[in-house]
Amino acid sequence: MHTEPAPGMPAAPIDFYFDFSSPYSYIASEQIEELGTRVARAIAFHPILLGAVFRISGMRPLTEIPLKGDYSRRDIARSARFAGVAFKMPEVFPISTVQAARACVVLQKLQPELVSGFIHGAFRAYFAEGLDIAKAEALREVLAKCGADVDAVLQATQSAEIKERLKNDVDESIVRGVFGAPYFIVDGEPFWGFDRIPQMERWLTSGPF
Amino acid sequence: MHTEPAPGMPAAPIDFYFDFSSPYSYIASEQIEELGTRVARAIAFHPILLGAVFRISGMRPLTEIPLKGDYSRRDIARSARFAGVAFKMPEVFPISTVQAARACVVLQKLQPELVSGFIHGAFRAYFAEGLDIAKAEALREVLAKCGADVDAVLQATQSAEIKERLKNDVDESIVRGVFGAPYFIVDGEPFWGFDRIPQMERWLTSGPF
């Protein structure tokens, strides 16, 4: 059922689940805010850790699967070109994204106005500029560029509260059925993959189909 | 490099690999010939057996993967509606498609003019009309509907030549890198999934990107 928000109530945001090490999440990140503008929905950004999700689903990083791995490297680069998104396959892939995700959670708590810029900066650093954002130096650079107080954010990533908050966010994503990235939920309807954005747009524009 | 065929030489066909038990292959089968017409390419139909392919790639039927299974059932039905294709999830899924694939190979050899009609008939029987085409009776019905000599085709499916021919086709698909279905190859470029049809169309229309 397509439920319209009550008059005066803002429509629910588009929940966008992503991992900073997921190339298709990067492509989606370059499109999702324009979609939000077109359909008058905010974006709720949810950094998750695919490693934790894959332990449940039994899935593996795409590039490690026989046959599919070779194809996926080609498909990722071609899909980026198709979408008009700058892309260079990172030399080290996949990487641990727990520090980047925690930094994102810190900003969501303390400086939400920097979150979108940080997310784009981190994705572009890793997938277009050849920076390994698992390395402290690269992450510092991304944080500085988006205007964050680098030392304060990095210190906060080590607090029990932030670690717990990210862990809870990841656990909650699994409870909501997220098994890969990018993953979107709008008004209870799940969409997996940047290639489902056209379906999601129709859903948001014309209602459920 | 985008190579134009020499003058007078027809362009190579679009190789379309599918399994009769693959719902996304069914959706693609309803779109591929219109695409072929738009880009002036013939379609080369290749029935394969995903079971044999999955033994190499280590993949499993979508619906059997934790979390992803529930989503995929929803996504398949929604993707069919999005594409405007009649769909009803079969009660028995997946099924053995070796007999249907062999029947297709028989027609490709003896009555190629019936192949397209048979493929659409088999897919629609299984994914829209609730018929289990692994059962002899249902397959007979599909064959009869497309105008084939039912007994002759079924008898031929048991010949060593046809069995060998299908086995060779499947082996060759694996050599070409096919790890799932639907899978397309055009001028050496692979595309996996019905959701890559827009990329394939741009490739065929404007050349490699």
Q: In angstroms, rounded to a whole number, what is the distance separating the alpha carbons of residues B76 and B74?
A: 6
Please report the DSSP string for B185-198 in residue order: EETTEEEESGGGHH
What is the 3 state secondary structure string of A83-106?
HCCCCCCCCCCCCCCHHHHHHHHH
Span A124-171, pLDDT tens digits:
999 999 999 999 999 999 999 999 999 999 999 999 999 999 999 999
Mean pLDDT of A34-53: 95
- Cβ proximity of B95 and B15 under 8 Å: no
What is the 3 state secondary structure string of B87-119?
CCCCCCCCCCCHHHHHHHHHHHHHCHHHHHHHH
**Which is higher by pLDDT, A10 or B78?**
B78
Q: Would you say residue A91 lies in a domain?
A: yes
CATH number of the domain enclosing A22: 3.40.30.10
Q: To which H or E segment does residue A144 belong?
A: helix A136-145
User: Do B196 and A193 make contact, defined as CB atoms within 8 angstroms?
Assistant: no
Which alpha helices (H) appear in chain B, and where do they start and end?
A: 23-29, 32-39, 50-57, 68-83, 98-110, 115-127, 136-145, 150-157, 160-175, 197-206
The count of other CB atoms within 10 Å of the CB of residue A24 is 22
Span B126-155, pLDDT tens digits:
999 999 999 999 999 999 999 999 999 999
State the total domains in chain A: 1
Span B147-192, pLDDT tens digits:
999 999 999 999 999 999 999 999 999 999 999 999 999 999 999 9
User: Do B56 and A66 make contact, defined as CB atoms within 8 angstroms?
Assistant: yes
User: Which residues in chain B are closer than 8 Å to A57, comparing Cβ atoms?
Assistant: 65-68
Span B80-124, pLDDT tens digits:
999 999 999 999 999 999 999 999 999 999 999 999 999 999 999
Nearest to B209 among A59, A66, A82 (CB): A82
| Residues listed for chain A | 209
Mean pLDDT of B7-36: 93
**pLDDT of amino acid A1:** 43
Q: Would you say residue B76 lies in a domain?
A: yes
Q: Is pLDDT of B7 > 80?
A: no
The CA distance from B109 to the nearest CA of chain A, in Å, is: 30
Q: Would you say residue A9 lies in a domain?
A: no
**pLDDT of amino acid A59:** 74
Q: Is pLDDT of A4 > 70?
A: no
CA B143 to centroid of chain Cα atoms: 17
- B8 falls in which pLDDT band (50, 70, 90)? low
Q: In angstroms, rounded to a whole number, what is the distance separating the alpha carbons of residues A204 and A184?
A: 12
Cβ of residue A180 closer than 8 Å to a chain B Cβ: yes
**pLDDT of amino acid A153:** 98
Q: Would you say residue B3 lies in a domain?
A: no
Domain residue limits at B194:
14-206
User: Do B56 and A67 make contact, defined as CB atoms within 8 angstroms?
Assistant: yes
| Backbone dihedral angles phi then psi of residue A129, each to the nearest 5 degrees | -110, 5
The CA distance from B202 to the nearest CA of chain A, in Å, is: 9
| Chain A residues 146-175 with CB within 8 Å of chain B | 174
Q: Would you say residue A6 lies in a domain?
A: no
Q: In angstroms, rounded to a whole number, what is the distance separating the alpha carbons of residues A206 and A200?
A: 10
**pLDDT of amino acid A8:** 66
Q: Is pLDDT of A6 > 90?
A: no
Q: Would you say residue A163 lies in a domain?
A: yes
Span A177-188, pLDDT tens digits:
999 999 999 999
Nearest to B177 among A67, A79, A174 (CB): A67
User: Which residues in chain B are closer than 8 Å to A196, comparing Cβ atoms?
Assistant: 75, 195
Q: Would you say residue A97 lies in a domain?
A: yes
Question: Could you tell me the pTM of the whole model?
Answer: 0.92
Cβ of residue B2 closer than 8 Å to a chain A Cβ: no
Q: To which H or E segment does residue A80 belong?
A: helix A68-83
**pLDDT of amino acid A3:** 52
Q: Would you say residue B2 lies in a domain?
A: no
